[in-house]
Structures are given as C-alpha cells and as structure tokens.
Amino acid sequence: MDLENKKVKTVLIISLIAIVHLWSLRGVGFDLRRLLKIGNTIEFIATRWFPPDWSILNKVLGEAIITLQIAIVGTSFSLLVALPLSFLAAKNTTPWEGIYSLVRGFLSFLRSVPEIVFALVLIPALGLGPFAGALALIFHNIGVLGKLISEKIEAADKGSQEAILSVGASNLSVITFGILPQIMPDILSETFYRFEVNIRASLILGLIGAGGIGQLLFIHFRIFAYQKVLVDTLIILIMVIGIDYISSLIRTKVI
Amino acid sequence: MLAIESLAKRYSKKEDYVLKDINLEVKQGEFVVILGTSGAGKSTLIRCINRLIEPNSGQLYWYEKNIRKLKKNDLRRYRRDVGMIFQEYNLIERLSVLTNVLVGRFGYLNYLKILLQNYSEGEIKLAQEALARVGLAGYETAKVRDLSGGQRQRVGIARALTQEPRLILGDEPVSSLDPVTAEKIMSLLTEINQKQKITMLISIHNVELAKSFANRIIGIKHGKIVYNDSPDNLNKKMLERIYS
C-alpha cells in the first residue's frame, strides 16, 4: 500500500515537471527548425566582426576602468550604509520591534527593485553617466547586503556576547567585540561576491546610458561598428574573468 | 554579600518553572559549589544572579542593595563586581589573548576608549598580572583559537580577574575539560579564592570534584534547593536526593 502510494506520487511529480516545461517552451516559442539558423550568427560574426579595430583600444580601456570604478563605488558605499542598518534589522540587536520591521521592510524594498529600474528612475534627474549607474548599484546592494548581514548577526554565536555583557559592558561594546569579529569574514566574502556581480550589472546599466564600457558597446552596436564591438567584447571578457579570479582568490585564501 | 529570596523563573507561560522559590545566602570568602542534574536549573540560577536572565519574581540583594531594580548604568556597575566564567569559555576566538583579557575592563571604560583599544598602562598591567596569575604569562599575543581547552579557561579566568570582581560565578567551568585539567582549574580557583579573597559560586557536574574543593555545597533538583550544607555531610542518601 505504502509502496503503491510512493509510485503514484513519483508519477505525479514527474508529470507536473513535464507540464511546467512544456508550458514554458510554448511561452518562449522554442522551435528546433529556427535553431538551425544559428549558423547565420556565426557567419555574421566571422564576416562582419573581423578584423578587430584596435585603433580604439585606449578609449575602450578608459571606459573599462570607469566600469570598474562604478562597481567599486557601488559596492563599498552600499556596505557602508548596509552595515549599520543591518544591526537595526536583526532581532537580537535592534533597539525596538518597530525599527526592526521598518528597516526590514525598507531593505526588502531596495532588494526587490532591480538595478536597472533604479537607473531608469535616476537618469532623468541626474543625467546620463556613471554617477546614476553607481547610485543605482548602491541602492539595490544596500538591500542585498543588509539582508545578508542581518542574518549573520542573528546567527552569531551567543557565547562571547554573553561574556562581554557579563563584565558590565554596554550593548554597543557587545556588538563591536561580541558580534563583529565573528561575522567579519562572512561580510568581506559577501562583499567581494557582490563586487563581481556589480561588474556584470554595471555592463547592463551601460546599455541604458549609465556610462562605462557597457555604454560604449551599445553605441558601437547601434552604429554597426562591429569591428569595434569585437574589441569591446574582448576587453569585457578579460576584465570579468580577471576580476572573478582575483576576487574568488581573495575570498578563499585571504578571508 | 549576596542574598537570594524566593527567586522564581520560567521561560514562558506554557512551561513549568525552572526555578521555584530559591532562597540562598552567600558570604564573603566562601567557595560554594552547586550540584544538580542537567536541567535542574543551575545555569538559570547563576545567570539570574548577574541578571543575564531576568527572574519572574523574588528578590536579589548585593550588600543589602536590591539589584533587581537596577537600571542600565547601575546594573553595569554591579556587573563589574561579579565576574563570570563559562563552560565553553565564551572568548572572542579571532582576537589575541591580551585583547580577550582586557574585555574585563569594558565595564569601566567609555565606548570610544574600548573601540580604539585605548587602555591605560595600569589596565594593561592589570591584565598581564591576571595572565601571570593563571599561568599564562607570555601568551599575550597568542590567538585564542590556537589554545587548548584548559588554556582557554585560564584566559576566561584572567578576564574575570581583570574586572576586579568580589564574586566569580561559574557555569560548569570544568565540564568540557579532561579530569586532570579540570582538577588543575579547580585548584587555581581555590587559590584565587583563598589568596585574593574572591568569593566563588560555581556549578559542577562531578561530585568528587565538588566535595574536594567546596566549603559548602548547594544541591538543586527541579528548581528547588534540596541540600545546603558542608561537603562532609553529603552522604549517599543526600546524593540520592539530589540526583534521583
């Protein structure tokens, strides 16, 4: 009887998964015959993108550095704001329940608005360029880091906090010495991970005019300067791979 | 020095009382050991004394002063007088031994000095003397995470000494240690008790250890004191009363 039940359950789950996927494939208009035309893309790249136009290399590198700077500012400033907020948004350190709910709600709002939406809203007021992009990253990442850090605060071991409280220390001292040293490695690791994500996000923000190498790529695409697009793409590849490598090295070896 | 009157504690309205009507006096200079099974209420009682846990009813007096009514700064000032050591040592793992010992001064300093680790020479000397006292002279810069269990508890004791307490509370401070180390730590606590006249109130699992080091033994069962006398009178019948 039990075994029978289990079989029925398995069949039901498999059919459910199948139905969800068939439904999704229909939604995206998935068509194997059209997939065969992918050869055209290869031909397009082979004939129109080569040879790369290295004359613009300096300009591309300059814009790549701006992308890097957007990501650096977008990451560090969001950490700076998120860290104090996360203590208000953690059950064990918040001064009172009201602030806890308020800050939690604010953080999840920031988190659920994508960077690109923040940028679209900010650009009319701040104008096109890297500043709007960096600010968009900051807003979204305050939400992301704030949630992560407040969860670490709540999960921190209570032992040393209790000991510091027992000597007659203030709550602020308990936070500084009982919680922060424990969660610091996690915070740094998460921050470096967000930095990697922000590099990629700032490329996308470039498409809507928020500066950096992403914007250059989009401009070259629109004026059909494919030989320049190739240079943009190569530099982006090198930058993303390089930063992912360095960042993960720091996260695993140093922290 | 310490008087506890009809103290009671339960953690929620649905649960039973963990402590029921505890009455206890501790005199200056005593070495009192609390015995009892796991869950008898030893940890709760000890934490009620320095108000890491707030009791539901009853009174606590520290030199005739009611400490249940103390607010913020007065509570902090009272806690400076009462050191505490823990079963799991409760040190800051990633920081140095000296930094951990200086935590004992946190009750005396303002936050800015603590944040900047700006200690006076006298305070650093006090911490170093405490380290020497527990047999860890020269370990100042060692990281806590590199120490053995016995060494960690010594750092815990040094931290308590650095706050210049009159009473040291111990929540099973030797329960995580091997028998030989446990006895060494108990001897150290006895020495501190006798030479520095610091009163000890410590819970322990091991009956033999309690008998050989305590001036007085308190037996707790289901949140009530069932024995309160000299270790010499702790016979088999009395032990059954505590542990059955």
Give the pLDDT score at A46.
83
Average per-residue pLDDT for chain A: 91
Establish if A165 touches chain B: CB-CB under 8 angstroms: yes
Give the pLDDT score at B59.
95
- A contacts of B159 (beta carbons < 8 Å): 163, 167
Whether residue A162 and residue B52 make contact (CB cut-off 8 A), yes or no, is yes
Residue B211: CB atoms within 10 Å: 17
Q: Is the pLDDT of residue B18 over 90?
A: yes
Structure tokens at A204: 């996308």
Q: Tell me the pLDDT band of A45, cut-offs 50, 70 and 90.
A: confident
Whether residue A170 and residue B76 make contact (CB cut-off 8 A), yes or no, is yes
Asked if residues A119 and A205 have their Cβ atoms less than 8 Å apart, the reply is yes
Whether residue B107 and residue A163 make contact (CB cut-off 8 A), yes or no, is no
pLDDT digits (tens, 9 = 90+) for A147-176: 999 999 999 999 999 999 999 999 999 999
Asked if residues A217 and A229 have their Cβ atoms less than 8 Å apart, the reply is yes
d(CA B173, CA B205): 10
Q: What is the mean pLDDT of residues B163-182?
A: 96
Instruction: Locate the chain B residue with the closest alpha carbon to A180.
Output: B92
Whether residue B159 and residue A167 make contact (CB cut-off 8 A), yes or no, is yes
Residue B50: CB atoms within 10 Å: 23
Q: Tell me the pLDDT band of A33, cut-offs 50, 70 and 90.
A: confident
pLDDT digits (tens, 9 = 90+) for A84-125: 999 999 999 999 899 999 999 999 999 999 999 999 999 888
pLDDT digits (tens, 9 = 90+) for B102-112: 999 999 999 99
Least confident of A34-38, B87-91, B133-137: A34-38
Q: Considering the entire predicted model, what is its pTM? A: 0.84
Interface test with A, best of B50, B67, B103, B123 (most A CBs within 10 A): B103
Q: Where are the beta strands (DSSP E) in chain A?
A: none
Whether residue A168 and residue B76 make contact (CB cut-off 8 A), yes or no, is yes
Average per-residue pLDDT for chain B: 95
